[in-house]
Amino acid sequence: MKKKKLAVLTGAGVSAESGISTFRDSDGLWENYRVEDVASIEGWHRNPALMLDFYNARRRELATVKPNAAHIAIAELENEYDVTVITQNVDNLHERAGSTRIIHLHGELTKVRPEDRYSDRDGFSEETVFDIGYGEIHMGDLAPDGAQLRPHIVWFGEAVPKIEQAIAAVESADIMLIVGTSLQVYPAAGLYRYAGWDTPIYIIDPKDVPVSDPRIRHIRNVATKGMEEFKKILNSK
Ligand code: OAD
């Protein structure tokens, strides 16, 4: 029998129980850093060394954490569903938990690419992106074409190249699951609107969610416990 399609949109909350700070909770990253300094293309043009330090630290942290039961539960859904994970996270915890189809909407910490020297749009081609694992990059580390290397991260002010792929996954989904995102950052926050009119949408988050839509059911819990509830719901269908 053909497997049903499940689109899973995740945000920082799915990795919180692994020990990675979210952005907007109290003591989240955006309480300790200014978004425009470390996550915008203008910040890169102003002070690239500060940005490199910030992402070097994020990579070092990633090397010390592990996928949690929620990442693993999402990966295990592949036994029964045709799953596409759409993540806003730049960590690699979904991969390490075993998920096989992952769209990284906001890029990946373990990858770098040359900065765009020819325009301020930071265009790039996928062939120039490469893996550095948990290593560091510094000013003066150059790509083969002589350009400064930069993190392969989508910053504020830049395009989100994978959004079309993500929309297609949501449009074709039979079920949508959203885990641990404040739904504040577009275009990711608007993705659920592309789900079919009769597609059930489940949101796992311990806090209130800023959306009201008859298709949505809120599982008010942390990701690990919420995934247990979600699996029970699927099994009862
Ligand atoms: P946020 O920090 O905005 O939201 C995290 C969400 O996770 C909140 O709704 C929390 O209530 C929830 N949460 C906290 N702990 C949780 C837990 N244990 N289990 C489940 N949920 C939990 O993070 P995002 O929505 O992912 O972009 O942020 C979106 C984007 O904003 C990020 O990708 C990043 C940031 O600026 C860029 O840097 C481009």
What is the average pLDDT value for the chain, to the nearest integer? Answer: 95
Query: What pTM was computed for the model?
Result: 0.96
Structural domain spans, the chain: 5-236
Please give the CATH topology (third level) of the domain spanning 5-236. Answer: Rossmann fold (3.40.50)
More confident residue, 116 or 137: 137
How many angstroms separate the alpha carbon of residue 129 from the centre of ligand 1?
Answer: 26
Q: Specify the residue with its C-alpha closest to ligand 1, atom 23.
A: 12
**Which of 29-33, 44-48, 137-141, 156-160 is predicted least confidently?**
29-33
Report the percent of the chain where pLDDT is more than 70.
99
53-62 own/partner pairs: CB under 8 Å, 24+ apart: 55/109, 55/137, 55/151, 55/153, 56/136, 56/137, 56/138, 58/90, 58/109, 59/109, 59/110, 59/132, 59/134, 59/135, 59/136, 60/134, 60/136, 61/20, 62/20, 62/91, 62/92, 62/109, 62/110, 62/134
Ligand 1 binding pocket includes 219 (Cβ within 6 Å): no
Q: Summarize pLDDT for 18-66 with one digit per residue, the tens.
A: 999 999 888 888 888 888 999 999 999 999 999 999 999 999 999 999 9
Ligand 1 binding pocket includes 165 (Cβ within 6 Å): no
Mean of pLDDT values over 181-185: 96
Give the pLDDT score at 222. 98
